[in-house]
Amino acid sequence: MLSQVYRSGVQPFGRRLLPWVQSPGLSRSHRVQTSATRHVRSWSNIPFITVPLSRTHGKSFAHRSELKHAKRIVVKLGSAVVTRGDECGLALGRLASIVEQVSVLQNQGREMMLVTSGAVAFGKQRLRHEILLSQSVRQALHSGQNQLKEMAIPVLEARACAAAGQSGLMALYEAMFTQYSICAAQILVTNLDFHDEQKRRNLNGTLHELLRMNIVPIINTNDAVVPPAEPNSDLQGVISVKDNDSLAARLAVEMKTDLLIVLSDVEGLFDSPPGSDDAKLIDIFYPGDQQSVTFGTKSRVGMGGMEAKVKAALWALQGGTSVVIANGTHPKVSGHVITDIVEGKKVGTFFSEVKPAGPTVEQQGEMARSGGRMLATLEPEQRAEIIYHLADLLTDQRDEILLANKKDLEEAEGRLAAPLLKRLSLSTSKLNSLAIGLRQIAASSQDSVGRVLRRTRVAKNLELEQVTVPIGVLLVIFESRPDCLPQVAALAIASGNGLLLKGGKEAAHSNRILHLLTQEALSIHGVKEAVQLVNTREEVEDLCRLDKMIDLIIPRGSSQLVRDIQKAAKGIPVMGHSEGICHMYVDSEASVDKVTRLVRDSKCEYPAACNALETLLIHRDLLRTPLFDQIIDMLRVEQVKIHAGPKFASYLTFSPSEVKSLRTEYGDLELCIEVVDSVQEAIDHIHKYGSSHTDVIVTENEKTAEFFLQHVDSACVFWNASTRFSDGYRFGLGAEVGISTSRIHARGPVGLEGLLTTKWLLRGQDHVVSDFSEHGSLKYLHENLPVPQRNTN
């Protein structure tokens, strides 16, 4: 084994520059066979050695979320990651990105090691160049320019390429790590270095010393001298170092690393060869699952295929090292794939020894899809019956629900702000209101799915219908709002949609019992699996990537949650609003009796709600009038903190704290007051600083009110009514999945209608388009036909 440390000539900031180090050579003592090499365990048809020496390493991480605690990490770079597509030369941009990520993690205090391929490809590039240059000038002149371009280059032997490429590869790594003031060391090994007891100990000691000095070891098989791998040479219990996959696994176990990241040119492990029609990426792979996996061919370069990677990963896993296999070549993810894995994001395939008690989120998505389709085929009366039964359960099981909610409140005490605690709290009156709302949904759902919206006679005996159908599978993510669960579930049931629910952990006990009651209600017609509660440790960002399972995401929570989901959603529409900046404009002709009631209700009735008042716009003529004084006195009594807008502050000698931003959702007993000169200025202010949620005018002038109603471009615009009316229950929708400020599909409080889409049904009798050509026998009629009347009872 050879070891050499390269260091930067730049003095690292805050770190003593380490001297050049030459490690001792490995001893040539004979190989020692220990009892460990004879003690073999086996998973399925793949045998594994018990961890060698007196290793006292802990168990591997059970969940991705724990990977952020990994201290010692090995990153294996496959040939497909390191080399260019032409297999001659290195992918420099990709390598630079990987070095940057490794450096970031190293500078966080982690101990990073690289197992890298690339010497053969780098050497092949150099040798080809040398061969072309060594052609005699005479031969080049005789051959002519065209023939020179087609000059045959002899097949290059891999060992020679490796010998020519090792120094250049390491020099490249040295130059890249120098940019981050990090030292790197090269270590070349062969299989014999692991079989010989003394050499193993020397290797182990060298690596530990390098890590102690904050140096990144870069390890590779010494391809210049390594013999061809013996077939099945690892079936005696020792994983043979015949490729860099097995080298990385062996090194990870020897060095008791926490995490092994294997980067290749595929996204991870699939249940069948990638590219086949039914291939699905396996998120978590468990020992024993290899029986259900069909392996394809190996990658375009390198010695190991996916089967070799899985074998090496399982061997490392048994040794106590967590493993992730991921794609290191995809241009959109390679720049952050390593850091994403360490942060616990759902990237590639994670190998775990701990199987979850319940289904994975992918399995839950499939169950919601199939359950939703069954739900959509039920008769409207059957879906209504499920919702009525759920409403009854909310009142019948009231004591059990409140007991679970009490546990949530006790655990959240001191951790959540008062507005969030209020959202988390359930009460008898809340449950009664929920039950009433659910019964409204059941009553209005009788002809929601399959309702005919349009009928057209296209031609003789050719009739077209447009009918309502469910959207598919909904993902609803909600914070601190357990009452949201039965509301959303009832709307999904009424509209025939499958449903995935992801609630906040602060409401875990409440959500669990409410979901159990929902499934009990669904069971009366055999569609229990249509509504799923995600209880795994899935991050919201990971759920937003399930674009093949989820058709619509509906966030219910803070504006930050909504913004995060809108940013994270990959190819999935998001319905909702990122902010609820609601305005009330008090016109110069406003009624004194109405204003204080409307302001108090809009701001103080439930200040944490998204439809609570956040900015009060007052006509300039009302300043220093009794009406203005009454508003201020009422706000003071209600202990509302006032923030003055720029124009309002300019009218005051001693003003309240000036607002930091006119685009603020307080969610508490705080209110911004600003002055405007006219209704048009109020509208302009709302359009500039509002969030298109809910805006109100208070005036007795009908003409001014209608002008405001027609010109304010928001989802809800009111005249002489509280902003708090912007709610599905108060609109008579029974409940809502949220309030949408988007302009496509649904806007405002989204109830049952907003969870439906349409499809077209065409019924014909051997009709073909050619019959309608210029010389055809049929003509288009396009006659509107009567639509069946909707049942409003």
Q: CB neighbours of 22 closer than 8 A, spacing ≥ 6? A: 3, 4, 5
Q: Lowest mean pLDDT: which of 110-114, 153-157, 336-340, 615-619? A: 153-157
pLDDT band for 263, please (50, 70, 90 cuts). very high
**pLDDT of res. 791:** 60
Of 220, 106, 229, nearest to 168 by C-alpha is: 220
Rounded distance between C-alpha atoms, residue 358 and residue 360, angstroms: 7
Instruction: List residues bridging with 31 in a β-sheet.
Output: none
**pLDDT of res. 242:** 53
pLDDT in tens, 566-588: 888 878 999 877 688 999 999 99
Percent with pLDDT over 90 in the chain: 51
pLDDT in tens, 283-297: 888 887 666 666 655
Rounded distance between C-alpha atoms, residue 737 and residue 729, angstroms: 11
Q: Over the chain, what is the mean pLDDT?
A: 83
Domains and CATH numbers, the chain: 64-135+156-227+237-351 (3.40.1160.10), 361-568 (3.40.605.10), 582-736 (3.40.309.10)
Rounded distance between C-alpha atoms, residue 60 and residue 357, angstroms: 18
Q: Which residue has the higher pLDDT, 12 or 678?
A: 678
Q: Lowest mean pLDDT: which of 77-81, 551-555, 699-703? A: 77-81
Q: Lowest mean pLDDT: which of 52-61, 192-201, 423-432? A: 52-61
Locus of tokens 């902010």: 579
Three-state DSSP class for 144?
A: helix
User: SS3 string of 34-47?
Assistant: CHHHCCEEEECCEE
Q: State both tokens at 761.
A: 């049904």
Torsions phi, psi for 375 (to 5 deg): -60, -40
pLDDT band for 417, please (50, 70, 90 cuts). confident
pLDDT band for 2, please (50, 70, 90 cuts). very low
Q: Which residue has the higher pLDDT, 158 or 788?
A: 788
pLDDT in tens, 367-407: 999 999 999 999 999 999 999 999 999 999 999 999 999 99
**pLDDT of res. 568:** 84
pLDDT band for 238, please (50, 70, 90 cuts). very low
Q: State both tokens at 187.
A: 């270590």
DSSP state of 574: B
- Are 673 and 643 contacting, i.e. CB atoms less than 8 angstroms apart? yes
Pairing of strands 462-470, 452-459: antiparallel
Q: State both tokens at 556.
A: 């219910």
Rounded distance between C-alpha atoms, residue 498 and residue 476, angstroms: 11
Q: What number is the average pLDDT over the span 346-357?
A: 86
Q: Which residue has the higher pLDDT, 562 or 518?
A: 518
**pLDDT of res. 231:** 47
**Is 144 a residue whose pLDDT tops 90?**
no
**pLDDT of res. 51:** 34
- What's the residue count for the chain? 793
pLDDT in tens, 740-786: 888 777 888 888 888 999 999 999 998 999 999 988 889 999 999 99
DSSP 625-691: SHHHHHHHHHHHHTTPEEEE-HHHHHT-SS--PBPS-SS----SSEEEEEEESSHHHHHHHHHHH--
Rounded distance between C-alpha atoms, residue 134 and residue 127, angstroms: 10
User: How many degrees, rounded to 5, is the angle at CA 229 between CA 227 and CA 233?
Assistant: 130
Percent with pLDDT over 70 in the chain: 84
- Are 525 and 385 contacting, i.e. CB atoms less than 8 angstroms apart? yes
Rounded distance between C-alpha atoms, residue 323 and residue 781, angstroms: 65
Neighbours of 588 (CB within 10 A): 17
Q: Lowest mean pLDDT: which of 123-137, 418-432, 650-664, 771-785? A: 123-137
Of 35, 31, 74, 32, nearest to 237 by C-alpha is: 35
Rounded distance between C-alpha atoms, residue 517 and residue 588, angstroms: 52
Q: Which residue has the higher pLDDT, 36 or 259?
A: 259
**pLDDT of res. 23:** 38
**pLDDT of res. 14:** 34
Q: Alpha carbon 475 to chain centroid distance?
A: 12
Rounded distance between C-alpha atoms, residue 730 and residue 349, angstroms: 47
Helices within 690-757 (DSSP H only): 702-711
Q: Lowest mean pLDDT: which of 96-100, 216-220, 306-310, 510-514? A: 306-310
> Which of 145-149, 262-266, 373-377 has the highest average model confidence (pLDDT)?
373-377
What residue type is assigned to position 583 of the chain?
A: H
pLDDT band for 30, please (50, 70, 90 cuts). very low
**Is 330 a residue whose pLDDT tops 90?**
no
DSSP state of 525: G
Rounded distance between C-alpha atoms, residue 613 and residue 622, angstroms: 19
Q: What number is the average pLDDT over the span 427-436?
A: 94
pLDDT band for 16, please (50, 70, 90 cuts). very low
**pLDDT of res. 738:** 81
**pLDDT of res. 150:** 53
- Are 698 and 450 contacting, i.e. CB atoms less than 8 angstroms apart? no
